[in-house]
Amino acid sequence: MTHGEVTAGTTHVVPHHFDSPEQAFEASKLGIWLFLVTEILLFGGLFVVYIIFRALYPEMFHEASHHLNKVLGGINTVVLICSSLTMALAVDRTRQNDSPKANQYMLMTLFFAACFMIIKYVEYSHKFHEGLLPGANFTFEAIQHPKTPLFFSLYFMMTGLHGIHVLAGMGLITWVLWRSNKGQFSSAYYTPVELVGIYWHLVDLIWIYLFPLLYLIG
Amino acid sequence: MVHKEKKHKGHAKAYIKVWVALLVLTIITVVVSYYNFGTWNILVAMLVATVKGALVCLFFMHLLYDNRVNQVVFVSAFAFLGIFVGLTASDELFRTTEKAVVVAQEASTPSGADMNKLRVASPQLVEKGKQLYSVQCAVCHGAAGKGDGPGAPALNPKPRDFTSGYWRFGGQPTHVFKTISEGSPGTAMAAFGTLGVEERWSLVHFVRSIAPNPPDDKPEDLAALGGDKKTDQGPGTMDQGLQKPVQQIPISFAMKRLAKEEMAASDVAVLPEGKQAEGLGEKLYQANCLSCHGLSGKGGVPITRISVNPPVYLKTKDFAKADGAWVNDKNVFVDIVTKGLPGRGKPGIAHFSSGEWDSLYQYVQSLR
């Protein structure tokens, strides 16, 4: 295979240091998986803090979590699961050379992601209003335990970091949607769609743990 | 061929099945959270989350069809996470926390009636105290209580010689109990609050048994220690005050308490009411130096805590014992006061006029 060969059906050029499009695809995928490992360890730090403090103050976590909105959290879980489905379908359609349908699925994914952020906004503004704020800004008085601000520090750090990932994912999906719309992807080359999809599922995966850990204590 | 799955007609059906499964599992985990199964709640929640996570990974992220390297890489993340959690928890959760100490003390706390008994010396208590003393105290205070244990030569100030009849914090039972429980700040005498209440009282009685004419508790001792006006209930109230030296209190309150306890052992660092400064130097001193160097310049006021257990403080020096260059040189004095002594807790003070410097220097000299 000569360097810089144009693969059939697209304008994508396989970088010259790869032997074949397959190898390029596999290398990219290994890259995204390694990235996901770092992501898990990034969130892992917060999970460790969570585990230690929950072990130290179980009754405080129990009481504080009652001040989170289980219903909104549950709706957001469903919303993210739906967005994961539409993203998986978008990747599937792209691979089947059905870009128009894939674009629709990506738009739906963006819609769900936006829903998630709006619900998150409603939740956050409610917490701000009540004074359920992290650390020294905590002014809520109905919870007695002196360590309660700790729970809300964790809540805002964990959901905040996750929210940043949702926003980044929305940007990435917009980018692949734009490229897909220009007809740049096909069964021969769809690496960016695949990788953005994998990243998006990780965002879902992390929320799957955050939801019971923060909202569903007892 | 780019992907193994290209042969298939697409995964739409499988994805929708996974999606339904995820929704059902979400409903299960929410419903379970409304019931209280104790520790089972968290286990069920984590099990459900893990099944959901596995479905997402295996199907949506198609890790199931991916090559072995990617599978190993991703699973390794959880192995590392396990190490992260395991090592942190094995350190953090097995420390002797303040909470654990309180629990241990509460467990070893006798009831009110027993407490009154403990406060009175008995041959049994003295004997028990003697045995404990040889294990806990003799290393420094000496086998016969003469302050000449093997550890004594290394210590400054020296351990108390119980046969001398001198008590720094008073020889009344409640005072000795307090010293044993809370230690003596600024010395090597550690707080033995981790010993049980009965153990500490037995030590009190043994130590007093070898001292010449130890004083007995007066009503005001009980009142002062209990921090409570109910003197008639003296012993019980006081003991309850002493049992939990490490219970949770606001930091600001703790700082005030700490400062108050410390002051007792040093120069007076607050201006007594009604006291008026006579000259400019005295006025400047009282406004700028008094809080650390004390009213009469004898120092001994703790300014920086340099060790927690036993608590050791960096204290201000007695002016009379000063031998620095400032004693004879006003310029050095001005320099030190202006810039402070970094690392030794001496802060720099704002500039004064030359006349003010003269008065302040003279006043400090007069305190020597």
Sign of CA dihedral B93, B30, B15, A89: negative
Identify whether the C-beta of residue A194 lies closer than 8 Å to the C-beta of residue A178. no
Tell me how many degrees the CA angle B132-B133-B134 measures, rounded to the nearest 5.
Answer: 90
Using the Cβ of B21 and the Cβ atoms of chain A, whether some distance falls under 8 Å is answered with no
pLDDT-based confidence at residue A149 (cuts at 50, 70, 90): confident
Phi, psi of B312 (to 5 degrees): -125, 135
What per-residue confidence (pLDDT) applies to B311? Answer: 61
Chain A within 8 Å of B366 (Cβ-Cβ)? no
Contacts of B49 in chain A (CB under 8 A): 208-209, 211-212
Q: How far apart are the first and last CA of chain A?
A: 60
Which among B12, B49, B248 has the least Cβ separation from residue A208? B49
Provide, as residue numbers in chain B, all residues whose Cβ is less than 8 Å from the Cβ of A34: 73
Q: Which two tokens stand for residue B138?
A: 């003799």
Tell me whether residues B56 and A37 touch, CB distance under 8 A: no
Confidence tier at A83 by pLDDT (50, 70, 90): very high
Confirm or reject contact between B31 and chain A (CB < 8 A): no
pLDDT confidence of residue B325: 79
Cα separation of A83 and B254, whole Å?
Answer: 52
Which tokens is B74 given?
A: 């991703």
Comparing alpha-carbon positions, the chain B residue that sits nearest to A52 is: B89
- B134, B143 in Cβ contact below 8 A? yes
Nearest to B164 by CA among B138, B134, B186, B141: B141
Q: Which amino acid is at A207?
A: W
DSSP state for residue B60 in the 8-state scheme? I
Contacts from B131-136 at CB under 8 Å and sequence distance 24+?
A: B132/B195, B132/B199, B132/B202, B132/B203, B132/B206, B133/B203, B133/B206, B133/B207, B136/B192, B136/B195, B136/B203
- Using the Cβ of B60 and the Cβ atoms of chain A, whether some distance falls under 8 Å is answered with yes
What residue type is assigned to position A180 of the chain?
Answer: S
DSSP state of B306: E
Give the residue among B240, B109, B257 at the shortest CA–CA distance from B185: B257
CA distance A192 to chain B (A): 14
Rounded CA gap, A87 and B328, in Å?
A: 82
Instruction: Tell me which of A166-180, B35-49, B336-350 is least confident.
Output: B336-350
Quick check: A89 and B3 CB within 8 A? no
Q: Who among A33, A41, A202 is closest to B70 (CB)? A: A33
Six token digits for residue A92:
């599937």
Residue among A25, A77, A146 whose CB faces B26 most closely: A77
Give the mean model confidence (pLDDT) for residues B322-330.
81
The pLDDT of B15-42, averaged and rounded, is: 91
Residue among A26, A36, A10, A20 at smallest CA distance from A196: A36
Beta-strand pair B302-307/B312-315 = antiparallel
**Chain B, 235-264: which have a CB under 8 Å from a chain A CB?**
248
- Over residues B343-357, mean pLDDT: 73
* pLDDT tens track for B195-236: 888 888 889 999 998 888 888 888 777 766 554 433 333 343
Q: Alpha carbon of B284 to those of A7, B59, B269, B295: distances in Å?
A: 86, 78, 15, 12
Q: Which residue has the higher pLDDT, A152 or B323?
A: A152
What letter represents residue B320's amino acid? A
Say what the ipTM of the complex is.
0.90
Domain at A21-215, CATH class:
mainly alpha
Most confident by average pLDDT, A7-16, B108-117, B269-278, B355-364: B355-364
Q: What is the pLDDT of residues B240-282, one digit of tens each?
A: 444 444 445 556 565 665 555 554 456 666 666 667 777 888 8
Could you tell me the two tokens for A217? 């204590």
How far is A83 from B22, CA to CA, in rounded Å?
12
Q: For A44-71, b where at least 16 C-beta lie within 10 A, e where not — what string?
A: bebbbbbbbbbeebeebbbbbbebbeee
Contact B36 A218 (CB under 8 A): yes
Question: What percent of chain A lies above the pLDDT cut of 70?
Answer: 94
> What is the residue extent of each domain of chain A?
21-215
Q: Say whether A209 and B49 touch across the interface (CB within 8 A).
A: yes
Averaged pLDDT for residues A63-75: 91
Separation of alpha carbons A56 and A39, rounded Å: 26
Indicate whether B288 pLDDT > 70: yes
Contact yes or no for A55 and B93 at CB 8 A: yes
Please judge whether B49 and A29 are an interchain contact, meaning their C-beta atoms are less than 8 angstroms apart.
no
Per-residue pLDDT, A137 = 76
Instruction: Determine the pLDDT at residue B108.
Output: 56
Write the pLDDT tens digit of every residue in B75-115: 999 999 999 999 999 988 887 655 555 555 555 556 555 67
Please report the pLDDT score of residue A214 as a whole number: 94
What is the rounded distance in angstroms from the CA atom of residue A84 to the CA atom of residue A75?
14
Task: List Cβ neighbours of B227 (8 Å cut-off, separation of 6 or more).
Answer: B241
Q: Does the pLDDT of residue B6 top 60, yes or no?
A: no
Cβ contact, residue pair B46, A78, below 8 Å: no
Identify the sign of the CA torsion B258, B261, B265, B269. positive
Among the residue ranges A136-145, B62-71, B97-106, B113-122, the one predicted with the least confidence is: B97-106
Tell me, what's the pLDDT at B98?
55
Looking at mean pLDDT, say which of A167-176, B156-165, B250-259, B267-276 comes out highest.
A167-176
Residues 6+ apart with CB under 8 A from B50: none
CA distance B194 to B98: 10
Per-residue pLDDT at A118 exceeds 90: yes
**With an 8 Å Cβ cutoff, is B30 touching chain A?**
yes
How many CA atoms lie within 13 Å of A54's alpha carbon, on the beta-carbon side?
20
Nearest residue on chain B to A38, alpha-carbon basis: B77
CB contact under 8 A, B11 and A205: no
Q: Residue B259: its pLDDT value, please? A: 56
Mean pLDDT computed over every residue of chain B: 77
Nearest-angstrom CA–CA distance, B348 and A195? 59
